[in-house]
Structure 1
Amino acid sequence: MIYSARTVRAELEVQQPARKVTEVVTEKWTVISGKRLDLILKYMGDINFEKEGISLRIPASVAQSWKVAENGTIQALVQKVSNHSYEIKIYKGIQKITDIPGSRIMIPVKEMFPNGDPETMEITDSRGRKLKTFLDKKQDLLIVDTDETGIFCVRGRKIDDIEENPFAVAVLTTATMITVLIVGIRSRSGKRGDSHKGEK
């Protein structure tokens, strides 16, 4: 693993909690001191973490419930795992935070879905549960409501439902073939009946 100066700085920040207003941003992580968090909540309200165009907004009341000491730290990871999945992690010091009720993930439509229709997309969490989403057409964002951290997967309902259920496709194909055969047999039977009538 290659460490940049910013990465090393962030790791030192995690290992040695800051005793002043501190905010360190690396390629994947955002590390802020408890004092910095207090200032954000006081003057800005909700707290936002953004990486790779993806934003996570956590209500101020939730962040306040963490009760981070001034010399403590909050570390947040927001990253794109693949073209169809995203990961969110939050730590208070070394304690993992999983509950973030009332939070929202905001995904830019044009960047993330250049060839897809965002209105047909659905988001599932690491447990496979479908999350509530809506499209903000003014800001061109797909908004996802979540109460937990974890890995989130994006998929198109119409395409993926078929791809993930090959048995259904096979049944449909077989049914189509049977229908064609039946129609063909009936057609041939009809022609033979007509020819016999002519012979009489």
Structure 2
Amino acid sequence: MIYNARTVRAEPEVQQPARKVTEVVTEKWTVISGKRLDLILKYMGDINFEKEGISLRIPASVAQSWKVAENGTIQALVQKVSNHSYEIKIYKGTQKITDIPGSRIMIPVKAMFPNGGPETMEITDSRGRKLKTFLDKKQDLLIVDTDETGIFCVRGRKIDDIEENPFAVAVLTTATMITVLIVGIRSRSGKRGDSHKGEK
């Protein structure tokens, strides 16, 4: 094939559409082009963003409602703020997106509680509202349903935590003593009844 000036000038025009299909991943952010978003929604359905083992799944219908142009971008931030708190942000270009109905966050339990998972866990959003959660013990994941972006805080409680509450320990000790006294009284009453039977 003979290359001439016209062929060289035409080559970038052929490659240009492919350049629109971009996905840039940094330590905290994931940036995808509108064309890339269309391909994900077409072949994969729901869209997923993952950082540090934390996964955010957004329904395809929600992502489609954003109506991102092919040369536009979606920027997603998924980061661990502290041991028990996480932040999620989404932008369409420079426009902040806060509503993500039907979305789901999946957090590894070991990432939050490396010394062992608590017996119960609850998660609240930036407004202090409790969110619906589910613990997948097989995959060791805390699954959280959310309709908004923001900061999420996880709190866990073990049965052993009762030892850290002096009042709870005092109540438990008192209840134990009462139980022992009742058992002792019943035991003595039984012995007295048996002795009376022997006297007859």
In the alignment, which residue of structure 2 is the partner of 1:136?
Answer: 136
Q: Is the 8 A contact 2:80 2:87 kept in 1?
A: yes
Unpaired stretches in structure 2, ≥5 consecutive residues: none
Q: Is the 8 A contact 2:118 2:158 kept in 1?
A: no
**Number of aligned residue pairs:** 200
Distance 1:169 1:91, change over 3 A: farther
Q: C-alpha separation between the residues in 1 aligned to 2:88 and 2:8?
A: 21
Q: C-alpha separation between the residues in 1 aligned to 2:17 and 2:172?
A: 60
Q: 1:48: Cα distance to partner?
A: 0.2
Q: C-alpha separation between the residues in 2 aligned to 1:67 and 1:48?
A: 17
Q: C-alpha separation between the residues in 1 aligned to 2:2 and 2:55?
A: 26
Distance 1:137 1:159, change over 3 A: closer
Per the normalisation by structure 2, the TM-score is 0.70
Deviation sequence 1:130-180 (CA, Å, 0-9, x none): 000001122221100000000000112569999999999999999999999
Per the normalisation by structure 1, the TM-score is 0.70
Q: 1:182: Cα distance to partner?
A: 21
Q: C-alpha separation between the residues in 2 aligned to 1:111 and 1:175?
A: 37
Q: C-alpha separation between the residues in 2 aligned to 1:185 and 1:5?
A: 108
Instruction: Report the identity percentage.
Output: 98
Deviation sequence 1:108-148 (CA, Å, 0-9, x none): 12232222434411100000000000011222211000000
Q: C-alpha separation between the residues in 2 aligned to 1:3 and 1:105?
A: 53
> What is the RMSD computed on CA atoms of the aligned residues?
10.8
Q: C-alpha separation between the residues in 1 aligned to 2:5 and 2:20?
A: 20
SS of residue paired to 2:17:
coil
SS of residue paired to 2:115:
coil
Unpaired stretches in structure 1, ≥5 consecutive residues: none
Q: Is the 8 A contact 1:10 1:26 kept in 2?
A: no
Q: 1:5: Cα distance to partner?
A: 34
Q: C-alpha separation between the residues in 2 aligned to 1:148 and 1:98?
A: 5
Q: C-alpha separation between the residues in 2 aligned to 1:2 and 1:53?
A: 51
In the alignment, which residue of structure 1 is the partner of 2:49?
Answer: 49
Deviation sequence 1:20-56 (CA, Å, 0-9, x none): 1000000000000000000000000000000011000
In the alignment, which residue of structure 2 is the partner of 1:111?
Answer: 111
Deviation sequence 1:81-131 (CA, Å, 0-9, x none): 000100000000000000000000001122322224344111000000000
Q: Is the 8 A contact 1:58 1:103 kept in 2?
A: yes
Question: Which is greater in Rg?
Answer: 2
Distance 1:67 1:192, change over 3 A: same
Q: Is the 8 A contact 1:46 1:60 kept in 2?
A: yes
Q: Is the 8 A contact 1:17 1:72 kept in 2?
A: no
- Superposed structure 1 runs of 4+ greater than 3 Å apart: 1-19, 157-200
Distance 1:125 1:194, change over 3 A: same
